[in-house]
Amino acid sequence: MTTHREPLPSVLDTIGNTPLVAVHAAPEEVPVYAKLESFNPGASVKDRIGKYMLERMLDDGTLEPGGTVVEPTAGNTGIGIAVAAGQLGVDAVFVVPERFSVEKQRLMRALGAEVINTPTDDGMGGAIDRAHELAEELDDAVVPQQFSNPLNSEAHYATTGPEVYDALDDEVGAIVAGCGTAGTLMGMARYGRERHPDTYVVAVEPEGSLYATVVGEEAEEAEYKTEGIGTHDPATNELFDPALVDEVSQVADRRTHEEIQRLAREEGQLVASSSAANSVVARDVARRIRDGEIDAPYDSVATVFPDSSERYLSKGLYGSFEEWEG
């Protein structure tokens, strides 16, 4: 795990192989382990897909050397793609709905990318439409489109999944992960179900998000503060395959906010809202495995902590709930 003991030729070689760390608050009988994705050079899980998608697209000729990628992104994917684009000789343009962290947009610019904002009210759908318009206007431009590109989940099938299973000697009872594009969960779930077909798979989303409706549950749409996961328009989340999911679990922002602060105070984990939501659900799934309510092939739960709290300090996530919500 992150044992980079030799000099490396490129920052791209530091992507992946992140540490897998126990969540202390889990039940003793069913441990929970989280992949600390802030150990990646762009400090989030999305470095994995930035590198993987661009390398594959350059390999198969979808993307020309010296060409441009245009991507609609809430931020971390932009940073991940910008890190890879800079090193692979590709230009990057990102279309970001206004409501997302300014920190992330500054980092994308620092990495040499261009950032274009779209109105918050137009949602992710508006950003996707704008990205396609821009790609039409530019020469040699492609939209990797993380929301529909199978290379997104493939990156996690090829890296995140195997890393978790290797670290736990293949004994993973349940996989729990928040879904933005759902690439992380789908890649890990597909890998996990191949290792053991009864692996219990749980998708996490904030209350107010609508993934639950895709698995036939009722859900009421509302705004939420948790960043990076959830959807208001499941038609745009093309990678989400309900056949790979046993359950969609919703977490209220208030509960997530408590867990962000508990993880820092009690576990030394400086992680952000999607990590905290994953932690809440992973601990709950572990309790239910212990109590016999979930039939999982092994007594363990794997999840991911996608990024760090430092990226959201300006949003008051270590203040009161009202300050964070503000």
Contact positions vs ligand PMP (CB under 6 A): 44, 46, 74, 76, 178-184, 227-229, 272, 274, 306-307
Nearer to ligand PMP, 199 or 209 (CB): 209
Shortest reach from residue 106's CB to ligand PMP, in Å: 16
Nearer to ligand PMP, 17 or 209 (CB): 209
Q: Active site residue: 274, 300, 308, 309, which one?
A: 274
- Residue 273 falls in the annotated catalytic set: no
Shortest reach from residue 217's CB to ligand PMP, in Å: 19
Nearer to ligand PMP, 67 or 228 (CB): 228
Q: How many CB atoms lie within 10 A of CB 114?
A: 15
Residues in the chain: 326
Q: Dihedral, CA atoms, 186, 187, 188, 191, nearest 10 degrees?
A: 110
Shortest reach from residue 250's CB to ligand PMP, in Å: 15
d(CA 241, CA 128): 20
d(CA 82, CA 70): 11
- The alpha carbon of 216 is separated from its chain's Cα centroid by a whole number of angstroms, namely 23
Nearer to ligand PMP, 17 or 236 (CB): 236
Q: Active site residue: 35, 38, 44, 46, which one?
A: 46
- Residue 274 falls in the annotated catalytic set: yes
Nearest to 289 by CA among 173, 196, 177, 146: 173
Helix (H) or strand (E) holding 185: helix 183-195
- The alpha carbon of 5 is separated from its chain's Cα centroid by a whole number of angstroms, namely 27
Shortest reach from residue 76's CB to ligand PMP, in Å: 4
The most distant pair of C-alpha atoms in the chain lies apart, rounded to whole Å, by 58
Nearer to ligand PMP, 68 or 256 (CB): 256
Owner of token pair 């991911």: 304
Shortest reach from residue 134's CB to ligand PMP, in Å: 20
**Encoded tokens for 221:** 């749409």
Instruction: List the catalytic residues.
Output: 46, 274
